[in-house]
Amino acid sequence: MEFKGRDIISIKDFSREEIDFVLKIAQAMEPVAAEGSDMLRGKILATLFFEPSTRTRLSFEAAMHKLGGSTIGFAEAEIASVKKGENIADTVRTVENYADVIAMRHPLEGAARLAAEFARVPIINGGSGAEEHPTQALLDLYTIMREKGKIDGLKIALVGDLRYGRTVHSLAYALSLYDIELYLVSPGSLKMRREVLRVIKEKIPVSERTNLEGIVSLVDVLYMTRIQKERFPDPAEYAKVRGSYKVDLNILREAKKDLIILHPLPRVDEIAAEVDNSSHARYFKQVWNGIVVRMALLALILDAVR
């Protein structure tokens, strides 16, 4: 398995063996994350974020620091030369002179792939429009693995904006490599992208619903997502679907005792605050897991572990 120098653009580029390997390295990073190390001393990560982010950018940076490396970058395209009209190709051909690896988030689908074609250093996709978010999928899988001890055999529901949500696209592709049953719950106008559905349906049983009722009692993992307001071409369409699903303690009365609830965050109103202290909530644990998974990826790509 070769990770050295590799771009992380789409989760579709991963085999199940490769995903399992990354999850194994991530687990080995748990003590390293607690104590720090100098595995990547002298290495620089550039974070180029053309779209808002809290977790993805900060956890990439924290991961790099915990491995002894350093970080540079911008979190606001407004202050970078993009504002002057610089294109992605020129931006990455500049930044590759400063950094050993680049993590990038961009509003356009295909942006990370394009950047990788021009860059000599590896590109990690931190979110490409509504398309994909591969590192989030890896940390989602890691969370399921850690909390459930396995992924095979589980019943998993992805709930919310399955059309514009990039995390659920990457996660659905990744889950289709395992022996699971998938429930897709969304408003009719926000169904899972057909191109994703076509691929995953050939591998695992998938059922689409519009109602959350009846699903909560069935599943082992409930993956909630935010309706992606900023991606709607028409605000009136958003108004029709906002607040479609809300998980609260009442709806959880029918849940399996060991149901876990995940969310890539940020949440708006999909999960009531009262759920945070329940035995089901794992979305803040997921945030921690993002660090160890990104540590694993950085260490593998920069050849500090094999």
In the complex, which residues of this chain contact ligand NCD (CB under 6 A)? 55-56, 127, 133, 136, 166-167, 226, 264-265
Q: Which of 43, 57, 66, 105 is catalytic?
A: 105
> Is 55 an annotated catalytic residue?
yes
Tell me whether residue 39 or residue 175 sits nearer to ligand NCD (CB atom). Answer: 175
Please classify residue 257 by burial: count the beta carbons closer than 10 Å to its beta carbon, then call 0-12 exposed, 13-18 middle and 19+ buried: exposed
Distance CA 33, CA 293 (A): 10
Distance CA 102, CA 79 (A): 18
Q: Which of 43, 47, 55, 169 is catalytic?
A: 55
> Is 84 an annotated catalytic residue?
yes
Residue 72 belongs to what H/E stretch?
strand 70-74
Q: Which residues contact 55 (CB under 8 A, 6 or more apart)?
A: 264, 265, 287, 290
Closest approach, Cβ 165 to ligand NCD, in A, equals 6
Q: Which of 43, 66, 106, 133 is catalytic?
A: 133
Q: Which of 84, 120, 253, 257 is catalytic?
A: 84
Tell me whether residue 96 or residue 134 sits nearer to ligand NCD (CB atom). Answer: 134
Tell me whether residue 39 or residue 115 sits nearer to ligand NCD (CB atom). Answer: 115
CA dihedral 248, 254, 256, 259 (to 10 degrees): -20
Closest approach, Cβ 179 to ligand NCD, in A, equals 26
Residue 48 belongs to what H/E stretch?
strand 44-49
> Is 280 an annotated catalytic residue?
no
Closest approach, Cβ 38 to ligand NCD, in A, equals 28
Report the DSSP beta bridge partners of residue 221.
Answer: 156, 260
Residue pair 92/123 in contact by the 8 Å Cβ criterion: yes
Tell me whether residue 133 or residue 282 sits nearer to ligand NCD (CB atom). Answer: 133
Closest approach, Cβ 20 to ligand NCD, in A, equals 22
> Is 56 an annotated catalytic residue?
yes
Q: Which of 47, 56, 135, 167 is catalytic?
A: 56
Exposure string (b/e) for 157-176, b if CB count within 10 Å is 16 or more? bbbbbbbbbbbbbbbbbbbb
Tell me whether residue 136 or residue 143 sits nearer to ligand NCD (CB atom). Answer: 136
Closest approach, Cβ 56 to ligand NCD, in A, equals 4
Catalytic (active-site) positions:
55-56, 84, 105, 133
